[in-house]
Structure 1
Amino acid sequence: MLDALTIAVAVTALALAAWCGFAAFRDQPTKDWHFIGMAVVTLLALAQLVVGIVRLAGGDRAHDGTTTFVVYLIGAFLSVPAAAFLSLTERTRWGSATVAAGAVVLAVLEVRLYDIWGG
């Protein structure tokens, strides 16, 4: 895996979590700007998914198992879009809190992906 991409995804996810957490603290639902931030984080996670699959197809192997690595890659990619969908159904401060939680989950999954790859 690319360490720089893993760090970029984790840092942007934590920034999104702080931003949406602050919105929840201020009793605000997710707004269009939040969805732009979610799109950026999701695109980075998609890039990581593609890079991970290409590396596996190229012969590299994850230290703790290919299946586990691929499942974590897919889960990392889907965590923020799932939270975004839930925030659309909950148009209160709890929608923002849901996105913040989903972004924290993504950051934790990034740490786990780094460990599975062999870092």
Structure 2
Amino acid sequence: MLTPLTVALAVAALALAAWCGHAAYRDQPTKDWHFIGMGVVSLLALVQLVWGVVRLAAGDQPADGSLIFVSYLVGVVCCVPVVGLVSLTERTRWGSLTVTAGAVVLAVLQVRLYDIWGGGTGG
């Protein structure tokens, strides 16, 4: 697993969580620029998915198994788009809080992916 990409994605997710959390604190729904931030985080997640699949195809193996690893990668890619869709249907501060929660979950998933791969020692 590429550790700098994992860290970058976790930091970007936490930044998105703070940004949308601030919007919720100010009693605002998600705005267009929040969706741009969600797009950036989603793009990083797609890059991570592709990188993980390439590493698996090259013969590298995660410590906890390939199926769990790929499942987490797919979950990471789906996390922000799902909460973004929910925030579109909930045009109140709760939509912003939904994105905040989803971004925090994505950051936690990054820690778990790092552990599944073997703490960065898997290759």
Identity %: 72
How do 1:24-103 and structure 2 match up within 5 A?
24-103=24-103
Q: Which runs of 5+ in 2 are unaligned?
A: none
Matched position secondary structure for 2:64: coil
Q: Do residues 108 (structure 1) and 108 (structure 2) align? A: yes
Shift of 1:52: 0.2
CA distance in 2, matches of 1:87, 1:58: 38
Once the two structures are superposed, residues 50-92 of structure 1 have per-residue CA deviations (whole angstroms, 9 ceiling, x without a partner) of 0000000110001001000000000011100000000000000
CA distance in 1, matches of 2:57, 2:118: 17
In structure 2, the partner of 1:118 is 118
TM-score, normalised with respect to structure 1: 0.99
Give RMSD over aligned pairs.
0.3
CA distance in 1, matches of 2:26, 2:46: 30
Matched position secondary structure for 1:60: coil
CA distance in 1, matches of 2:25, 2:109: 25
Q: Which runs of 5+ in 1 are unaligned?
A: none
Matched position secondary structure for 1:91: coil
TM-score, normalised with respect to structure 2: 0.96
Which ranges of 4 or more aligned residues in structure 1 deviate by more than 6 Å?
none
Matched position secondary structure for 1:106: helix
